[in-house]
A and B are shown apart, each in its own frame.
Chain A
């Protein structure tokens, strides 16, 4: 699949498919015969971003590998809602072991395949942000450091949703969670330095690191496809809004992910061997407030008293991302 944006003026390069494009240029999700790696009947909440992101990513991985993947899943929503006995929603070879060990289990799968001479079968590790940036962080770093032939995908919904929305190392500042309540002088999560896993992954100088969101399907598919063209450790960090934990409307999942990128709060970029090689320019820039106000987890910034100090602080984070990743191109600035 080409990663060159297709200039298609009716539906642009952004919609899932278009009847006018050749089959090769259509998104994988537009294919009625797509894998549906995660199929219907799963028990994810209405409007679950993670269910969507996982299907997008794994279907792309299936396409890229001639349907030869094994996925290893950390404990978390994705695991729980997909495989409650006696029903599995997966249509791929899939293994769940523990919360904190998915990267290492994936390493084991890759090692077994190599030893058995089955290197055509590729390995995906996947988990939520808790499994990735917190409890499984050591295992992930080890997998990176050894450059094991695993693509690890983090579906980041910015808190421990499966256990009832507690704070994780990926929870953004000021966000309300069940353990960072919207009370006191500084309601919500603290302003720390953040735990920027894509950058930590880059520091391992692994072949490929990328960020993506469920709001840009073609970008996500292109990145998974590209990731599968590399051998060695690869990391994709996908922002997946959680209606339950974020307090957003179930129909707004993609919209919120889009606003996260268009505000600059979630930079979308790619890095190879430790260096940023591309970033996705903001198309219609919005203030962070546009993003924040759709989510109950930030409602304390707007009432009973508007917290301009906090909103300004969050805006400065977005501004820093925009500068750091060059998210305002000449083209987007002029439009």
Chain B
């Protein structure tokens, strides 16, 4: 049903249609509207057979989710930023135990300095957590990815993080076709857990594993996660059949055919980038965009294939490795191994700084002529920063 709705509400309603049995959350901006929406649905009886647990911390939120999932309940939670970092130990534990929890990350910067606005530092910090990570470009996709996330998670017995940009998506009112219950029920079968805590058939979950088997356990997790590269497109295809619209998958190409320069990005910034690219293409510049939806596992083969004709690649990132540079770029370079394709990183939108078309156009114009540094901080007030660095160095 098409509705003019806030992104958080679209996600809440969609998650509710997935019939979760346990929802647990601790409030943190900008995730709050999602869990408020779900709380309301549980409390007013619209979402039945579901326990909504107001926990005392994000660490507890993920822990409650672990317990619930291990007991065979479809389990959902949402967090952001500091909250995600506060639950990290449990995040790793959930994937290690192979529990198909779905969690929304309303992407937000990480302090200090404390900052409530959007970037990808939070979810990027969890890229090695063993979770599947998928990034939404629009509110429509954000809503749709949640339906797909439960399918992917439960099919693989792995947890899935659905990342959506805080405020930019969560708080934006847009027209969204919110999934109908009948369609969701058709798409998403009831949760059939791989393992379950059951007194009539007891098992011991969460053993201590020593050096004799730890490597094998981790290798198996790796292989299992890689198998998501086949599952995610399949699920997206099934979704399209039932819902009649395309959402999800591993990557999304925009005007990459024949493009000499390809811009890579994740999340909502893709919209702005596409606008700029469309203008540049209209000006006969051979440039295209590659959106990465599934960042974990990283679709190396698909990216390599998408970049095979490009001369250069620009990776726009909303997070970075301090002291190193980009994060996504590392994975892209892996996909480019053995080619002469140039690769540039541009760090943009940190802590909610607007990424304007003008700034992008200016940067892309230079990049297509290879006139950019390997690493650029978009719209950096370099004079200010250099002056401060000099002052501190002189002290």
Contact = CB atoms under 8 A, between A and B. Distances in A.
B67 interface: yes
12 contacts: A95-B70, A97-B90, A97-B97, A100-B59, A107-B64, A112-B72, A115-B68, A139-B57, A139-B59, A141-B56, A142-B57, A142-B60
A113 interface: yes
Interface of A: 67-70, 72-73, 79-80, 82-86, 88, 90-98, 100-101, 104-117, 121, 138-139, 141-142, 145-146, 148
B349 to A, nearest CB: 33
Contact of B90 (A72, A79, A80, A101): A101
A108 B66 contact: yes
Given A109-B67, A112-B72, A95 B197 contact: yes
Contacts of B1: none
Interface size class of B (residues with CB under 8 A): 35 or more
B51 A104 contact: no
B22 A112 contact: yes
Chain A interface, DSSP helix/strand/loop, else mixed? mixed
B56 A138 contact: yes
B75 interface: yes
B311 to A, nearest CB: 48
B60 A104 contact: yes
A31 to B, nearest CB: 19
Contacts of B97: 97
Contacts of B226: none
A69 B197 CA distance: 9
Interface stretch (B136-144, B207-215, B260-268, B357-365): B207-215
B309 interface: no
A114 B51 contact: yes
Given A84-B210, A109-B70, A112-B73, A67 B56 contact: no
Contacts of A84: 207-208, 210
Given A104-B63, A105-B64, A111-B68, A98 B21 contact: no
A94 B22 contact: no
A126 B394 CA distance: 56
Contact of A68 (B54, B65, B199): B199
B202 interface: yes
Contact of A79 (B50, B199, B208): B208
A19 to B, nearest CB: 31
Interface string B67-81: 111111101000000
B199 A112 contact: no
A126 to B, nearest CB: 13
B53 interface: yes
B341 interface: no
Nearest to A81: B208
B53 A107 contact: yes
A145 B56 contact: yes
A115 B22 contact: yes
A104 B210 contact: no
A134 to B, nearest CB: 14
B49 interface: yes
Contact of B197 (A91, A93, A139): A93
A145 to B, nearest CB: 7
Contact of B205 (A80, A95, A121): A95
B210 A112 contact: no
B208 A104 contact: no
A146 B53 contact: yes
Contacts of A83: 204, 206-208
Contact of B67 (A94, A100, A108): A108
A105 B205 contact: no
B194 to A, nearest CB: 14
Contacts of A112: 21-22, 51, 67-69, 71-73, 75
B207 A116 contact: no
Contacts of B71: 70, 108-109, 112-113, 116
A121 B67 CA distance: 14
A95 B73 contact: no
B199 A69 contact: yes
A73 B69 CA distance: 16
A104 B202 contact: no
Given A108-B53, A116-B72, 8 more contacts: A85-B207, A101-B66, A104-B55, A108-B67, A108-B71, A111-B21, A112-B67, A112-B68
Contacts of B305: none
Contacts of A117: 49
Given A67-B199, A95-B70, A116-B72, A139 B63 contact: yes
Contacts of A91: 202
B197 A105 contact: no
Contacts of A68: 199
Given A112-B68, A112-B72, A93 B90 contact: no
Given A70-B199, A105-B66, A115 B210 contact: no
A115 B49 contact: yes
Nearest to A87: B207
B126 interface: no
A97 B68 contact: no
A111 B213 contact: no
B203 interface: yes
Contacts of B102: none
Interface string B25-63: 000000000000000000000000111011111011001
